[in-house]
Amino acid sequence: MPTRINPWSLVIVVILAYWLFTLFGGSNNARTTVSYSDFIAYVEQGKVARVVLQEGRINGFFKAPERIQVGNTTETTDRFTVIALPPGFSDPQFTNLLRQNGVEITNRPPSMWGQLLFTLLPILLLIGFWWFFFMRSQGGAGQVMQFGQSRARQYGKEKRVNTTFKDVAGHTEAKRELMEVVDFLKNPQKYIAIGAEIPKGVLLVGPPGTGKTLLTRAVAGEAGVPFFSVSASEFMEMFVGVGASRVRTLFEEARRNAPAIIFIDELDSIGRKRGAGIGGGHDEREQTLNQILSEMDGFEKDTSVIVLAATNRPDILDPALLRPGRFDRQVVIGLPTLEERKEILQVHMRGKKFAPDVDVNNLARLTPQFSGADLKNLVNEAALQAARENATEIANIHFQTALDKIMLGLERGTLKLSEQEKRAVAYHEAGHAIAGEVLPYADKTEKVSIVPRGMALGVRWSKPEERILMSKEHLEDTLAMTLAGRAAEELFVGTITTGAANDFKQATSLAKQMVLDWGMGDHFKNVAWGSNQGPIFLGEEIAKKQDHSEETSRLIDADIQAILDRAYEKAKQVLSSNTEAMHRLAEELLESEIVQGERVREIIAQTKRPEAVAPAAFNPEI
């Protein structure tokens, strides 16, 4: 593809060439240069008829063409130029000599253009460099003055998206909803005939990595109508009014190609609540938002353009965006369920060679709370691990290594613990594992490891069950299992360490939610004060005043502390009842560093005493 030449660059080059020509060349190209001593000799010999004095140069004219020596050659010329004298040099006899020999003297003033170029050239060069880099930042020549033009990428008949709903695993309800949007645009008369109005906008809401953008690509592939894709941040610019202008341009272009779909990714970057943050009602972001509101459902009505938008922060969006008539529908794209994780894994495992021991069902059970992007990363990391080992197939061990790396970080083989520290870590993780297996409502152990990874010195993996609702019994057993690491240190190591820091953070956060959100405290059974665990939105949570008294705060703190104390005592009682299992599991961890969940259950079964107190009989008063 030929390179486009910037016309402004050509202008600068021409100006610079003219300046150099005037400075060093000028009319000298048509004259022969002679030395000052030769010039004086020509004057004394009466051969010079006229001289022109200008800008430190002497341009002379012979009375008749003369043959003069120039270097190693001889030239015939009727004019010549004298080499300029150094600054400050003067010859008092020069003028008298010219007059005595009848030489006509002409003084020519300095060229105005030369002086002007000397003055403006540095400024012109700076403007040229600024212009060049600014055009580069704006995407090339021709776009410098097009700040208000839409940056949306258009997909249509010539440029199509190949993704369809068949390429999207899971999200059955979301695909059905979006397929209706496609049908609205393909067969609008079917809905207009019965009196139904086509929805103006569909908002896709969900955590990062759940497939919101992928679903919109599938809509683009299925629609068969012009599809305009743009990120909300591309509306913003340093110049006031540019964002609103780009919104107008985008909708005008979509209407010219109607029926059409507009997709705005990361809507929350410009759709935040007005008046809630820094700046007044006239800043650039709010002007852009106002223009979007007007275009979607303002004075002019248009049903031939549907707007899709995606966000993972619906809580901070302006209420005017979410009302009927603008984003009529909200489609929640949540984290995939167990069955959906199996489908997603199978999609990303296509075209790869796997060993017979790879079980997709087991991988799906081991990856709760994983998004589609996380599952794709898991398969890719397992493939990379197999390639590092020069394996011909991806085996289950590669998936286990990839899962450890994703969840905990790289293995820290250079970190050397002392024997006392290693023993404390072994009993700490054994406490988590034994409590998780004995407590009836806790998630069961998948693997225990004391291999340092990332910031963790050890880990106990669990195989969680798929739960929609979490019971109070499950939460209490989970808290006891979480605090069992510190309880094991106190009972079997003889001292406590800093290794339980993260356990305390998790347990405290869960206990707060039990009291503040779920009404499971001793003093507050049917009230939710709100734990504010989400990210702070400037202008709301920071300025939010406390909505309960100091006495209520004291009772809330007491409830949280009571829940944590009961969980810790339960953990100590469970571990005390399984002392032999604790010692055996800790010894195996010190020997092999990794123990699988089946072996943990074998140890508990081999050491279980018939008279052991069952967890269901736990008495917090003991």
Measured from the Cβ of residue 485, the count of other Cβ atoms closer than 10 Å reads 27
pLDDT at 468: 80
User: Which residue would you say has higher pLDDT here, 602 or 278?
Assistant: 602
Distance from C-alpha of 400 to C-alpha of 391, rounded to nearest angstrom: 15
What letter represents residue 149's amino acid? Q
Is residue 123, in this structure, part of any structural domain at all? no
Q: 138 — phi, psi (to 5°)?
A: -90, 0
Query: Quick check: is 137 in a domain?
Result: no
Is residue 425 a part of any domain in this protein? yes
Average pLDDT in the 204-218 region?
86
* Whether the predicted pLDDT of 532 surpasses 90: no
Helix (H, G, I), strand (E, B) or coil at 501: helix
Pick from 46, 44, 81, 80: which is nearest to 63 by CA?
46
CA dihedral 252→255→260→264, nearest 10 degrees, is 30
Give me the domain span that covers residue 381.
Answer: 345-408
593/461 same-domain check:
yes
Q: Which residues in 419-433 are b (16+ Cβ under 10 Å) and which e?
A: eeebbbbbbbbbbbb
In this predicted structure, what is the pLDDT of residue 157?
A: 57
pTM for the model stands at 0.66
- CB environment 386-409: b (16+ within 10 A), e (fewer): beeeeeeebbbbbbbbbbbbebbe
Tell which of 408, 438, 457 closes a domain: 408
Does the residue 173 lie in any domain? yes
HSE, side-chain direction, 13 A CA sphere, residue 548: 14
Closest CA to 214 of 182, 166, 259: 166
Mean pLDDT calculated for residue range 90-99: 74
pLDDT on residue 613: 42
Between 51-55, 296-300, 565-569, the lowest mean confidence (pLDDT) is in: 296-300
CA distances from 232 to 102, 193, 236, 267, 292 (A): 82, 35, 8, 6, 11
Is residue 1 situated within a structural domain?
Answer: no
| Count: domains in the chain | 4
* Domain-embedded: residue 147: no
CB atoms closer than 10 angstroms to residue 330? 15
Task: Compute the distance between CA of residue 420 and CA of residue 253 in angstroms, rounded to an integer.
Answer: 71
- Rounded to the nearest 10°, the torsion over CA 306, 247, 150, 267 is -70
Kindly indicate the confidence band of residue 610, based on its pLDDT and cuts at 50, 70 and 90: low
Same domain, 317 and 356: no
Average pLDDT of every residue of the chain? 79
The tens digit of pLDDT for each residue in 140-199 reads 444 444 544 555 666 655 566 777 888 888 888 888 888 888 888 778 778 778 877 777
> Annotated catalytic sites, by residue?
429
Q: Is the pLDDT of residue 544 over 60?
A: no
Q: Does residue 299 carry a pLDDT above 70?
A: no
Question: At 91, phi and psi to the nearest 5?
Answer: -125, 105
Point out the domain boundary residue: 288, 306, 332: 332
| CA separation for the pair 479, 365 (Å, rounded) | 22
Summarised one tens digit per residue, pLDDT across range 252-291 is: 888 888 788 888 888 888 888 876 554 444 477 778 888 8
> What pLDDT shows up at residue 585?
93
Last residue of a domain, one of 332, 364, 394: 332
- Among 36, 45, 114, 46, which Cα is nearest to 80's? 36
**259 preceded by a cis bond (ω within 30 of 0):** yes
What CATH number has the domain bearing residue 51?
A: 3.30.720.210
Check residue 79 and give its pLDDT: 80
* Residue 457 shares a structural domain with residue 308: no
Q: Is 71 left (phi over 0), alpha (psi -120 to 50) or beta?
A: left
Which pair of structure tokens corresponds to residue 336? 């995939």
Q: Which residues contact 498 (CB under 8 A, 6 or more apart)?
A: none
**For residues 50-78, average pLDDT:** 77
Residue ranges of alpha helices (H) inside 242-371 are: 242-256, 284-297, 319-322, 338-348, 360-365
Residue 271 inside a domain? The answer is yes
The answer on 354 and 328 residing in a single domain is no
Count other Cβ atoms within 10 Å, centred on residue 210.
25
The reply to whether 311 falls in a domain is yes
pLDDT surpassing 50 at residue 620: no
Specify whether 256 is located in the same domain as 328: yes
Q: Is 255 exposed, middle or buried (0-12, 13-18, 19+ CB in 10 A)?
A: middle
Distance in angstroms (rounded) separating the CA atoms of residues 345 and 463: 18
CA distance 108 to 55: 8
